[in-house]
Amino acid sequence: MHAIEKILAVNAGKTSVHAGEIVNCNIDIAGINDLYYQTVKSFWEMGGKKVFSPEKIVIFFDHYAPCATEKQADNHKKFREFAKSQGIKKLMDINQGVCHQLMADYGLSYPGEVITITDSHTNTHGAFGAFGTGVGATDLAVVLVTGRLWFKVPEVIRINLAGKLAKGVYAKDVILHIIGNLKADYAVYKAVEFAGPVLKEFNISERMVLCNMTTEMGAKTSYIQPDEITMKYLAAHVNHNYKIYNTDRDYKYAADITYDVSEIRPQLAAPFNVDNVANLNEFAGIHIDQAYLGSCTGGRTEDFAIAAKILSGKKIHTGTRMILVPATRFVLQECLKNGYIQELVAAGATLTAPGCAACLGIHQGLIADGETCISSTNRNFPGRMGNVNGRIYLGSPASVATAALYGKITDPAECF
């Protein structure tokens, strides 16, 4: 069996499972974000009275944080009341940040878990050796009532990363290149495992980027086998017992693909699809109205460190604005401690509250009709940042910061 199959088998109370099998699994962490008060309504409609296990439930105020409308504020109020009535202590209020990074910050994501959150990028938790997957409001309500949910055991695609990263190339460039090559529907309801020697060059943040964006390939979940890098991170964050599962040697992958990252140069996903990917230099010179650094994909401490290195002692180009959105308050605090925020604000950037912000087009950095934004986020569909006639290019934090410096799309290698 694959390690993912072993995780599902244990949580389903079975000795073995196989791809295509339907299993009903115990859920270790059930997360609800503030877009989905429907989850609570469905819980009541299903006859729910008490949630299955308050300590296994997390409520995240990240998409509407802080609230921009009366309806959003009302949703938050009702969520707070629900959490209090159900004894749910893990309510991450508006001062906390994005769900996936918070899971890591609080040591809630670790090997062997089954994690379901009402957010499509829950694949992120494969970076820790967990089975993480996004679910809808009704499915999460089922979990609240029963503590269980059914899954079809996915086939697994292995993507091996070999070679040596070129200057100015990061995990975001690697995963964009892969998505551009394989396309958005390649891994529908499959799991994507990353392997190979290049992983040794990627810290946990970079691994989270890889796993996060498997969603844009249609993947059900993702996986990276825990190693010494994982263990070092877990030792500093996790106080729980956990078990690491290994894939059997004779396991047959649905596909086994290798990429030589030495050949990858900085990448951009151009409007209006994440798989519309090409070398950044093909878009060089395009004017940028807004450079956006943040989200569950590109808002971690390491991302701000890269941007600060590029913009330290310099000024953001006239006619271009830069929005900073730390993923969580922990990231914000660490960036302040290290001086990254100060460097970026001195360069002319605007700091906003930790959370999802403009990534989903609700507030804190929306773009106007006809404007162009370069973003470290994960989607560039029409209207994603609030305007169907706005244009969004997706790139690495280095590409975002370089564009902010020059006011146009520019190869970040020029800054190193």
- 90 and 209 in a single domain? The answer is yes
Last residue of a domain, one of 259, 294, 309: 259
Assess if residue 402 is contained within a domain: yes
pLDDT at site 272: 94
- 197 and 286 in a single domain? The answer is no
| Distance in angstroms (rounded) separating the CA atoms of residues 61 and 353 | 12
- 57 and 163 in a single domain? The answer is yes
- 255 and 184 in a single domain? The answer is yes
- 40 and 106 in a single domain? The answer is yes
- 128 and 41 in a single domain? The answer is yes
Q: Is 87 helix (H, G, I), strand (E, B) or coil?
A: coil
pLDDT at site 358: 78
Last residue of a domain, one of 259, 292, 321: 259
pLDDT at site 226: 97
The answer to whether the beta carbons of residues 224 and 199 sit under 8 Å apart is yes
**What is the enclosing helix (H) or strand (E) of 390?**
none
Residue 23 vs residues 28, 108, 110: alpha-carbon distances, Å? 15, 24, 21
| Distance in angstroms (rounded) separating the CA atoms of residues 121 and 134 | 6
Tens of pLDDT along 141-154?
Answer: 999 999 999 999 99
pLDDT at site 103: 97
Assess if residue 416 is contained within a domain: no
Assess if residue 407 is contained within a domain: yes
- 240 and 323 in a single domain? The answer is no
Strand-by-strand arrangement of the 255-260 sheet? 221-224, 191-195, 156-162, 255-260
Residue 290: which domain range?
Answer: 268-411
Residue 415 vs residues 67, 219, 243, 349: alpha-carbon distances, Å? 37, 34, 43, 18
What is the count of structural domains for the chain?
A: 2
Helix-helix angle 171-182:397-406, to 10 degrees: 100
- 48 and 196 in a single domain? The answer is yes
pLDDT at site 388: 86
Last residue of a domain, one of 220, 241, 259: 259
**Residues in the chain with pLDDT < 50?**
none
pLDDT at site 364: 82
- 30 and 74 in a single domain? The answer is yes
Nearest Cα residue to 127 out of 284, 296, 266:
296
CATH number, position 99? 3.30.499.10
DSSP 338: H
Assess if residue 352 is contained within a domain: yes
Residue 258 vs residues 131, 198, 261: alpha-carbon distances, Å? 23, 11, 9
- 190 and 304 in a single domain? The answer is no
